[in-house]
């Protein structure tokens, strides 16, 4: 959900919090997904719809979160 928090911890124990800013559904056949190169965002991409994960998934969920 928008404004949800994501917490990541690296192998050295450093923690980073991110806040979800965008959730987009895109066509899986799209050749590119635009990502700003000048921002330190976390971008998560997975198959969609969730009930059809695998060869039946024709869309992708793209979740963009910004560091706090």
Asked whether the beta carbons of 20 and 43 are under 8 A apart, the reply is no
For 29, the domain range is: 5-67
- Peptide bond just before 17 cis, omega within 30 deg: no
pLDDT at 67: 95
Residue 34, both tokens: 């635009």
pLDDT at 35: 75
pLDDT at 38: 77
Sign of CA dihedral 17, 21, 63, 67: negative
**Residue among 10, 18, 22 at smallest CA distance from 42:** 18
Which residue did the predictor score with more confidence, 65 or 34? 65
pLDDT at 29: 83
Provide the domain count of the chain.
1
Q: What is the pLDDT of residues 9-59, one digit of tens each?
A: 999 999 999 999 999 999 888 767 777 777 889 999 988 888 776 667 788
């Amino acid at each position: 959900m928008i404004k949800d928090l994501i917490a990541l911890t690296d192998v050295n124990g450093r923690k980073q919090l991110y806040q979800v800013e965008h959730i987009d559904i895109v066509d899986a056949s799209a050749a590119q997904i635009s990502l700003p190169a000048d921002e330190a965002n976390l971008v998560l991409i997975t198959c969609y719809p969730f009930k059809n994960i695998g060869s039946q998934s024709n869309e992708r969920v793209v979740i963009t979160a910004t560091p706090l």
